[in-house]
Amino acid sequence: ALKVSEGTRENLWSLMNSYQGRDSRSIQRSIVNHVEYTLGLTRFNFKDFNAYQATSYSVRDRLIEQLNDSNEYFNSQNSKRVYYLSLEFLLGRMLQNSLVNIDMEKKYKDALTDIGFKLEEIYEEEVDPALGNGGLGRLAACFLDSMATLDIPAMGYGIRYDYGIFKQQIQDGYQVEQPDYWLAKGNPWEIERPDVAYPVRFGGTFTKSGSGCGVGRWEGGEVVMAIAYDTPVPGFNTYNTNRLRLWRSRPGNEFDLQKFNDGQYDKSIMERQRAEYITSVLYPNDSTWEGKQLRLKQQYFFCCATIQDIIKRFKLNNTNWNDFPKLNQIQLNDTHPAIAAIELLRVLLDVERLPYDQAWMIVTGTFGYTNHTVLPEALEKWSVNMLQSLLPRHMDLIFFINQIFLEEVKRRFPGDGRRLEVVSMIEGWEDKRVRMANVAIVCSHHVNGVAALHTQILKASVFKDFYEIFPDKFLNMTNGVTPRRWLYCCNPGLAQLISDTINNDDDWVTDMRMVEEIAAYADEQGFVDKFKQVKVDCKKQLQHYIEKTQGIHIRLDAMYDVLVKRIHEYKRQLMDILYIIHRYLQILGMNEEQRRNVVPRVVFIGGKAAPGYKDAKGFIKLINSVADRINNDKSINDLIKVVFFKNYCVSNAQIIIPAADLSQHISTAGTEASGTSNMKFTMNGALIIGTMDGANVEIAQEIGKENMFVFGADVHEVDRYRAQTDEYRKGRLDGRLRNAFRAIYEGKFGALNDDIKGYLNRIEAGSDHYCLSLDFASYVEAQERADRTYRDQALWNKMAIIGIAKSGKFSSDRTIQEYCAQIWKITPKRIPNPADKPQ
Ligand code: GPV
């Protein structure tokens, strides 16, 4: 690294003309400069989109100052760092969040108004960067925000996909996927770093010398380059700014000279270009594993570059490898990046030439693994053949560490062959596979679940045999969400009300437990009226959005009933739509008098289905068919309106969540690891109708079961029901459910989709893995409770206010503090703000 002398430093400093000014004139000058010099447009004529670009570049300038200062400071202190490795970062739009975090939203708003632009309209110009599927990717984004806010020297590492999660369109009621080429109009938030590039090898051969794991030489194959793209992550109310580093693949520098000499110039160029495909597309599966080779390449590609980058940073200040785990903590967001642990081991052995015992100690002192599901279809099991051909040394090392591990298990549990079978990293005899969860558990010092119930299930069943081997490894880290995006930004009216009510300050934004104070106002008319007004304003915004994007008019004076999340059997969107059918049939049978008592509802169901998930796509079609019929039935006079909420994503989540009255979290008990939107809805004053699953359990503990509509079988009842025969279940099919099926079969909701018909037939025949029939009666009963409560608006609002007040636990700040204290053993490092010093 180039070290400049003090004198040169002074000179360089004066050249940079100080930091960006915070006054209106400086803001305007910087925006207009970017219009002219960065965009190449004239400052006398530019559109809203250009204003968005220039404003973002102007904000980015400030973030870069903070990022560089933070990084310099941490380097100068040889600070311990946390690295969050994830194949997904579902960031959502950046402009508002960045302005809010650096406390300049008002200043930019005024500065822009002055030159003829509305900040709110400029926000709408930004694409929604969607490099994630659902909860797992969004959690990573919330964690970045909290780590920056809490002054933790941390970095996120992932992949810069050219195509994010597909855009969902609906044609004839069916989901149609559109490619999300989010970079089409450029991305002002990223900083391309061609100077930060690492080679990544695939395939080839390896030879080993020495005994034991030996020292490997890995040669040949294909080498591609990883190029860094950095996005600054500012904290709220702190100067600290962290880095999200995403890798893009580019052709390597090794040429196939033979081909060139053979005159196959164009062909060999095209072959080189193939390297770029590695980071082309995000796989659109949520909680389901698909054994595609390209996906494995993505995983190794980003882990290999990341490990090189981390080691390079470590070597800036250190020579003693035993300090590595003390200074570097790497968290694995599920097993998707688990190959990073084997890669670190390989580098320590084959490149750094450390003895095996020392290398292994370093690996297990460095990694932590977070599990996000108990669903067997999500567990990654890469075929040994594929691993062997793509990453021969890694496969060899996995066999080696597995053998050592199994020998130890044999010693500690003599004669327990079953256990060996289960905890082995390798599954099967002919078609051998690597169980990545087992690799991750053995390579990590801690393994955590994401909600209390989920961690319980890990210990008691999914990873029981590991838990008995390593009881101290397992712990719980209940998820959280960032109150910056999910309250302060998306619901400014509610944020203002909270600030006005507690102490005229917004320090609750970094200390969510403070919000508890508003519980004292839940009965105070003045406060309740203001809360009602906030909710109505949010509902108006949603009404406007639905009118604009879907051309549907919805009434304001209805209960807004919302179920938005990825479409999955276990999340039971099917049970919701069957309930809607039941409700519709009920209304059809009512007289005028009875109908006057019905609470009008607008039902929103939204979410994407994985393109290859037939049943989930069938559910979407069914929802749209039911919507079609009900919305066009004049006889029920808008008592129910069904809206399929199209293309559910982070930016429209920020509109629908604040507007919800009732929110549904109705997974079969024991299937949803945590859920995180349940936390967002609660913070925004929606009441939950939900099962005792995932984090719902802890939400109930915090806000009180009486402030939710809890229903359904618990984990044990689910187990018992599943252990029964199909005959048993068939004999107990819920009558109302049967009627709903009949209505569908009779064609009340249009022509029958064969897939759906088969699905419903199987439930009728007693094959009901997700327990729709078991839970239907209590679901209906909970819905009725919700109606009754809604008729008593005073009670409803009181419950909603208590929910907000007691949602403090679910700030991701609390979650990150727990990771810091219990897994990473790291403390905050507050960097000095240069603005605090006289220049
Ligand atoms: I594994 N999750 C996800 O979004 N995608 C995945 O591939 C896997 C898990 C989710 C869980 O389903 C949620 O219950 C959980 O709240 C979320 O991860 C964050 O932990």
pLDDT in tens, 201-243: 999 999 999 999 999 999 999 999 999 999 999 999 999 999 9
Is residue 424 within 8 Å of 414, Cβ to Cβ?
no
Residue 664: what residue type? Answer: Q
Contact predicate 86/333, CB 8 Å: yes
Map residue 668 onto helix, strand or coil. coil
Under 8 Å between Cβ of 65 and 145: no
H or E segment at 651? helix 650-659
580-598: average pLDDT? 97
Compute the distance from residue 442 Cα to the ligand 1 centre, in Å. 22
Rounded to an integer, what distance in angstroms lies between the CA atom of residue 463 and that of residue 376? 12
The closest of 498, 490, 484 to 531, measured between CA atoms, is: 498
Q: What is the pLDDT of residue 3?
A: 66
Q: Cα angle at 613 between 162 and 736, to 5 degrees?
A: 140
Q: What is the pLDDT of residues 687-726, one digit of tens each?
A: 999 999 999 999 999 999 999 999 999 999 999 999 999 9
Q: What's residue 10's pLDDT? A: 78
Residue 1, pLDDT above cutoff 50: no
775 CB-near residues (< 8 Å, 6+ apart): 575, 666, 668, 691, 711, 712, 713
694 lines ligand 1 (CB under 6 A): yes
How many angstroms is it from 135 CA to the middle of ligand 1?
A: 5
- The DSSP line for 729-763 is HHHT--HHHHHHHHHHHTTTTSSPPHHHHHHHHHH
Tokens of 640: 């129910």
Domain 78-93+128-476 has CATH 3.40.50.2000: yes
Q: How far apart are CA 480 and CA 450, in angstroms?
A: 9
Place of tokens 């960097």: 831
Query: What is the phi-psi region of residue 731: left when phi exceeds 0, alpha when psi lies from -120 to 50, beta otherwise?
Result: alpha
Q: Which of 287, 570, 608 to mutate to test the pocket of ligand 1 (most atoms within 8 A of CB)?
A: 287
pLDDT tens-digit profile of 10-34? 787 777 767 899 999 999 999 999 9
Q: How far apart are CA 374 and CA 378, in angstroms?
A: 8
Determine the Cα–Cα distance for residues 322 and 333; give it in Å rounded to an integer. Answer: 25
Say whether pLDDT at 805 is over 80: yes
What pLDDT, in 10s, does the model give residues 609-656?
999 999 999 999 999 999 999 999 999 989 999 999 999 999 999 999
Q: Which atom of ligand 1 is nearest to the CA of 371?
A: 1
Q: Is the ipTM of this complex over 0.95?
A: yes
Q: With 80 as the cut, is the pLDDT of residue 4 above it?
A: no
Q: How far is the CA of 672 from the centre of ligand 1 (A)?
A: 8
CATH of domain 535-810: 3.40.50.2000
> Alpha carbon of 315 to those of 166, 212, 217, 309, 321: distances in Å?
40, 28, 23, 10, 9
Tell me: the pLDDT tens digits for 745-786?
999 999 878 889 999 999 999 999 999 999 999 999 999 999
Residue 332: helix, strand or coil by DSSP? Answer: strand
Q: Which residues are catalytic?
A: 372, 565-566, 571, 676, 680
* Inter-residue contact 656 to 606 (CB < 8 Å): yes
**Ligand 1 mutation pick, 289, 290, 372, max ligand atoms within 8 A of CB:** 372
Ligand 1, atom 19, residue with closest C-alpha: 136
Residue 305 confidence (pLDDT) above 80? yes
The Å distance, Cα 287 to ligand 1 centre, comes to 6
Q: What is the pLDDT of residue 839?
A: 46
Distant-in-sequence, close-in-space partners of 10: CB < 8 Å, separation ≥ 6: none
Q: Which ligand 1 atom is at minimum distance from the Cα of 135?
A: 4
- Give start-end residues of each CATH 3.40.50.2000 domain in the chain: 78-93+128-476, 535-810
Tens of pLDDT, residue by residue over 53-95, are 999 999 999 999 999 999 999 999 999 999 999 999 999 999 9
Which pLDDT belongs to residue 256?
64
Please tell me if the CB atom of residue 135 comes closer than 6 angstroms to any atom of ligand 1: yes
> Please, are residues 757 and 622 in contact by the beta-carbon 8 Å criterion?
no
Q: Are the CB atoms for 450 and 372 separated by under 8 Å?
A: yes
The residue whose two tokens read 């020495």 is 210
Q: Residue 377 above 70 pLDDT?
A: yes
Mean pLDDT for the chain overall: 96
Phi-psi region of 334 (alpha: psi -120 to 50; beta: other; left: phi over 0): left
Protein residue whose Cα sits closest to atom 7 of ligand 1: 287
Say if CB 606 and CB 618 are below 8 A apart.
Answer: no
**469: which 2 tokens?**
């081997």
Ligand 1 pocket test target in 335, 373, 668, 691 with most atoms within 8 Å of CB? 373
With a 6 A CB cut-off, is 672 part of the ligand 1 pocket?
Answer: yes
Question: Could you give the CA distance from residue 343 to residue 352 in angstroms, rounded to a whole number?
Answer: 12
Q: Is the CB of 133 under 6 A from ligand 1?
A: yes
Length of the chain: 839
Cα-Cα-Cα-Cα dihedral of 253, 257, 259, 263, to 10°? 110
Reported as a single tens digit per residue, the pLDDT across 235-280 is 999 999 999 999 999 999 766 667 777 788 888 888 889 999 999 9
Taking the C-alpha atoms of residue 19 and residue 669, their distance in angstroms, rounded to an integer, is: 54
b/e map 90-99, b = 16+ CB within 10 Å? bbbbbbbbbb
DSSP code, position 378: G
* Cβ 764 vs Cβ 741: under 8 Å: yes
Tokens of 528: 């309740």
Q: Are 343 and 302 in contact (CB under 8 A)?
A: no
Q: Which atom of ligand 1 is nearest to the CA of 673?
A: 14
Give the Å distance between the CA of 134 and the centre of ligand 1: 7
Residue with tokens 């967002």: 680
Closest CA to 165 of 289, 43, 283, 73: 283
Which band of pLDDT confidence, cut at 50, 70 and 90, is reported for residue 820? Answer: very high
Distance 152 CA to ligand 1 centre (A): 24
Give the three-state DSSP class for 207.
Answer: strand
Q: What is the pLDDT of residues 428-453, one digit of tens each?
A: 999 999 999 999 999 999 999 999 99
β-pair type (205-209, 215-219): antiparallel
